[in-house]
């Protein structure tokens, strides 16, 4: 099939039924009134990479929910209490944050160490940097991009234990660890696995939750093999809500109680507070009795030294007093059941709207984003995985002032420069992440209308050809593309 490239006039001419609300950037330029030519020029200058497109030109930005939330009045109030700057060591903000972290997660401060950092990937970097051993392998239900990149940067193999749809998979908890594969790999790599990770919710697998039973079984397998079990806990509140509403025996339990049980199975966690909690912040928590600490007796001192060198002293974590006060209040908000019901309900409402338009959304919906199945989106066309249709789709949406994120064959694929071969991940998605407390229904309806118009003409969407950065770590942040006919 010969694919005709959609022209600039084609993209900008199609009309949508709905119009997004006036954007926050209207304060800079009324109604974000940029011309199609201006958006086209900006997109081409950035190599059609959505991360290099100016936010001021957007009408609706669903690139990520990380650090893009709108603060509540209570958070702003708490934040302003720290506006005086605080103290360098053991400030009030630090004490409040430390107490709230202990209260939310249930880690006993006498039995664990807390390391504060400016964001989650910095906490991951600290943990990965301290691991010592030959030919190490880490295993996870599915690694997110930064977590995988941090391990691989240290020469550690990161292998997914993904539960695939169908068969014995529990449709309510498609983020679960594949326990059979985990057990095989723990035996296969005996003595080489310092950590097993479970990401809650499982972002790479369309934001799907992990059941409490699966967490408990994973912990038990790790104990049997003398391996530490860690959580990538970025979206722990949403996971707790899904456990409450989907898993037998938890309907009458509070979100706070479910969170603390979740954490009780872990030897440690890494977390980004930028997901719903605050615009900045991250942490690493490690239990002193974890197998990892027994295996490397000096690891806790190494981590404290790493924190001092990279992120100031233990009470700061490269954050201001205002940041710490905001995070402390945010942790109180995100475990509120009414908040979670509204947050997750908004995601479901958006996903349902897209599904009713005939778009191939991943169901059931997760707690922070709606995912499009890129392979199904281009079904019936000659678009192949190596044509990076998800990149082309997100690129063209920029012309309508919409930004989504490809999390599929390019973002999670790998390129071997020696052979010129691409290795593709099991999932091929485009993600529409929903920042907390920020968007309204008409924003989502506008995005849906734009996607529907492109889906109707999917056989005309061009290929995205990488022209730079194909073999870079976290390549989707740096790569540049051309949109061409095959």
Task: Write the pLDDT tens digit of every residue in 198-241.
Answer: 999 888 888 899 999 999 999 999 999 999 999 999 999 999 99
CATH code, 73-334: 3.40.640.10
pLDDT at 6: 61
Percent of the chain residues topping a pLDDT of 90: 70
pLDDT at 26: 47
Residue 258 has pLDDT above 90, yes or no: yes
Token pair recorded at residue 28: 């800079």
The CA distances from residue 185 to 142, 159, 163, 377, 423, in Å, are 14, 9, 15, 34, 21
pLDDT at 353: 96
**Closest to 58 in 3D by CA, of 352, 457, 394, 414:** 394
Q: What mean pLDDT is predicted for residues 169-176? A: 88
User: Which architecture characterizes domain 8-65+337-484 according to CATH?
Assistant: Alpha-Beta Complex (3.90)
- Stretch(es) of the chain classified as CATH 3.90.1150.10: 8-65+337-484
Percent of the chain residues topping a pLDDT of 70: 94
Q: What is the pLDDT of residues 74-118, one digit of tens each?
A: 889 988 988 877 777 778 889 999 999 999 999 999 999 999 999
Alpha helices in 378-433 (DSSP H): 389-398
pLDDT at 27: 47
pLDDT at 471: 83
Residue with tokens 């027994």: 294
Three-state SS at 97? helix
Over the Cα atoms of the chain, what is R_g?
A: 22
Q: What mean pLDDT is predicted for residues 358-368? A: 94
Residue 469 has pLDDT above 50, yes or no: yes
pLDDT at 301: 95
pTM over the 0.75 mark: yes
- Stretch(es) of the chain classified as CATH 3.40.640.10: 73-334
Q: Which residues contact 21 (CB under 8 A, 6 or more apart)?
A: 440, 442, 443
Residue 4 has pLDDT above 80, yes or no: no
Cα gap 196→200, rounded to integer Å: 13
């Amino acid at each position: 099939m010969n694919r005709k490239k959609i022209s600039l006039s084609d993209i900008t001419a199609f009309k949508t039924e709905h119009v997004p609300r006036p954007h926050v950037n209207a304060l800079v330029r009324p109604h974000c009134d940029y011309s199609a030519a201006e958006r086209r020029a900006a997109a081409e200058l950035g190599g059609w990479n959505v991360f290099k497109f100016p936010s001021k030109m957007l009408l609706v930005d669903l690139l990520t929910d990380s650090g893009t939330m709108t603060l509540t009045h209570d958070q702003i109030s708490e934040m302003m209490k720290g506006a005086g700057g605080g103290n360098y060591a053991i400030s009030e903000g630090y004490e409040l944050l430390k107490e709230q972290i202990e209260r939310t997660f249930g880690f006993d401060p006498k039995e664990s160490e807390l390391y504060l950092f400016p964001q989650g990937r910095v906490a991951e970097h600290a943990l990965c940097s301290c691991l010592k051993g030959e030919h190490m392998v880490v295993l996870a239900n599915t690694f997110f991009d930064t977590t995988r990149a941090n391990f691989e940067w240290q020469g550690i193999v990161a292998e997914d234990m993904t539960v695939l749809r169908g068969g014995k998979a529990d449709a309510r908890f498609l983020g679960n660890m594949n326990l059979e594969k985990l057990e095989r790999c723990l035996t296969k790599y005996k003595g080489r696995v310092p950590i097993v990770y479970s990401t809650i919710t499982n972002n790479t697998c369309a934001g799907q939750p992990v059941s409490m039973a699966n967490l408990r079984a994973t912990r038990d397998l790790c104990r049997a093999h003398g391996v530490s079990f860690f959580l990538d806990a970025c979206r722990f509140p949403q996971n707790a809500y899904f456990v409450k509403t989907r898993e037998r025996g938890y309907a009458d339990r509070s979100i706070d109680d479910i969170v603390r049980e979740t954490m009780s199975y872990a030897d440690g966690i890494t977390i980004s507070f930028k997901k719903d909690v605050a615009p900045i912040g991250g942490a690493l928590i490690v239990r002193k009795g974890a197998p990892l600490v027994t295996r490397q007796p000096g690891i806790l001192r190494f981590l404290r030294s790493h924190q001092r060198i990279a992120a100031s002293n233990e009470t700061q974590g490269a954050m201001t007093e205002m940041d710490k006060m905001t995070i402390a209040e945010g942790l109180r908000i995100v475990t509120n059941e009414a908040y979670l019901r509204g947050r997750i309900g908004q995601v479901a409402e958006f996903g349902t709207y897209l599904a009713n338009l005939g778009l191939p959304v991943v169901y059931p919906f997760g707690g922070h984003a709606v995912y499009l199945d890129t392979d199904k989106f281009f079904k019936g066309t000659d678009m192949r995985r190596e044509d990076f249709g998800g990149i082309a789709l997100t690129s063209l949406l920029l012309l309508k002032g919409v930004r989504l994120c490809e999390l599929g064959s390019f973002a999670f694929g790998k390129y071997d420069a020696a052979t010129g071969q691409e290795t593709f991940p099991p999932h091929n998605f485009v993600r529409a992440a929903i920042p907390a407390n920020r968007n309204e229904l008409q924003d989502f309806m506008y995005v849906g209308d734009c996607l529907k118009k492109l889906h109707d003409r999917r056989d005309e969407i061009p290929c995205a050809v990488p022209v730079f950065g194909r073999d870079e770590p976290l390549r989707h942040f740096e790569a540049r593309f051309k949109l061409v006919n095959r």
